[in-house]
Structure 1
Amino acid sequence: MANIVDQASESYRLTIETKYNEILATKFGGNEILAELIVSSLISIGLYWILGLIYFVVDYTKKPAFFYQFKIQRNNDQLKKDKVGKLLNQIVFNQIFHVILAYGLLLIKYKYFPIQRKVPTLTWFLFEFVMFNLIREVTFYYSHRALHHSSVYKYIHKRHHEWQSPIALAAVYSHPIEHVLSNIFPIILGPILMHSHNLSGYIWMAYSIWETLIAHCGYHFPGSPISPVFHDYHHLKFTCNFGVYGLLDKLHGTDKLYRNSPFYKLPRIYFSLKPSTDMIYNSDKME
């Protein structure tokens, strides 16, 4: 089956590879480090602000009311001027730090690691994508749980939890140490270990940023393929749901509080125009 799929899509793969190499040569003079630094920065910063600000407008204005009704944690207005200012300052600092760190890591990558210059087949890319998710799940879970340890929590991770009712822009509102350990490292490790083509890395990066914004947005919209309820509950209670998908939380039993809460009964995907959280708030059983 894999050979059939790859053979059928081979002409598209070759077209993409040719176009990629052409852009690399004409727009970046063949400088792969410069190309990766610029493209990855545009993705990580540009996509973050575009989507984050869209959510922020809804949070701040509470309009359109149709969208705002899907807010998971209700009656928890945290958008105070001083808090928003602190949020924006930290995000900008982390993103500048991210670009500087990325440049250093790219110098190391292109000097010591094998570079894949062949665009992957469709089936190999799908395999890579699964591996990227598994690697991130493991690294994020353990780094995130370690940051909750009492000996370091108040010095590092407590900053991120200032947003008990998270908003999308607060996804990378964190101490710089946390930003490296839990935000950057789990995402870049997969493509490095898999010796992936840069194009695979760009797609994975864009997906990861979109997913973390969804996880922190605080809205459970109908039809969304990703439910933010799991991570939103982590911000509500602090002591459970340390992973992305909950695989290791289930293994280690760190999702028990969540499983015993009414939030666990909410559907991951639903298509009703009635907010899923109505079943909690209307029943007066919120925990």
Structure 2
Amino acid sequence: MIWHVVVAIIIVKLTSAENVYCACAVGNAALYREAGRFETLFAVIPTGMCVQYSNGLEFVTVENTTWISLEYGGHSGFADFSLLSPEVWNGVCPTRLREIRAGGSHCPRIVTREEWGARLPSHTIGHLPEIPQYVFIHHGAGSRCHSEDECAAKVRSYQEFHMVTRGWWDIGYSFVVGEDGNVYEARGWDKIGAHTYGRNTVGIGISVIGDFRTQIPDDAALHAVIQLIACGLNTGKIQTNYIIQGHCDVVPTECPGNAFLDIIKSWPHYHRSNDSHCPPLDELS
């Protein structure tokens, strides 16, 4: 008798679950606040992640690209429909991140140290003690670059400055991003950096080449940064509950520049701590 009751309860639960509508990313799907305006990019749905939406997608076509409206991380945006697979599931949307991690990373192009002509570190650099939770955003505060040759030269100059002038063991950042759309490997995912004083063992540091106090990075650089973060999430190099902060959120500095910070503040994983040294959020826009 008890067994029949248990079976009945299970059957009721299974049959009462409602279908949900899911948009599943078949590639890292960038989200923009306005369809077709790439400067409004604010997040990337990682490959394999499924986002629930209400029955009936809103479609917008801009210059031969079809965009759909979605909510992700508490923010509304538009994604390229060709990068999403609409699916119907019973009860809850799936996630395929584990399968994606096993099958491929879908990362942006990362120019290796050998390719950009890095010097060897002066000392052995230790590994991060655990998977980092923080992503710290920086700017180089100098001139910009728009080709691989220019950007590689800038990365070499950063390494020279960090090692010769500051006496560090290597270039301090984990990665450097150029407005050529490439990511340049610095210390990489696994090594302790020298980018954010007091927080180097708990996060990675991403620096965009240029001075972004009054101007924002171009679309290629912004997309590369967000794709790199999605890459870290897909490959298990950053924690799923990661936190994005600007350099000035941790130490007194203008880095990563007010114009850049005005964009970062809208990214879903950005967190402004109470002791932040950055300008008040309402002064950025």
**Length-normalised TM-score, structure 2:** 0.26
Kindly name which structure, 1 or 2, has the bigger radius of gyration based on alpha carbons. 2
Identify, as 1 or 2, the structure richer in helix.
1
**Length-normalised TM-score, structure 1:** 0.26
- Larger relative contact order (Cα-Cα within 8 Å, sequence gap ≥ 6): 1
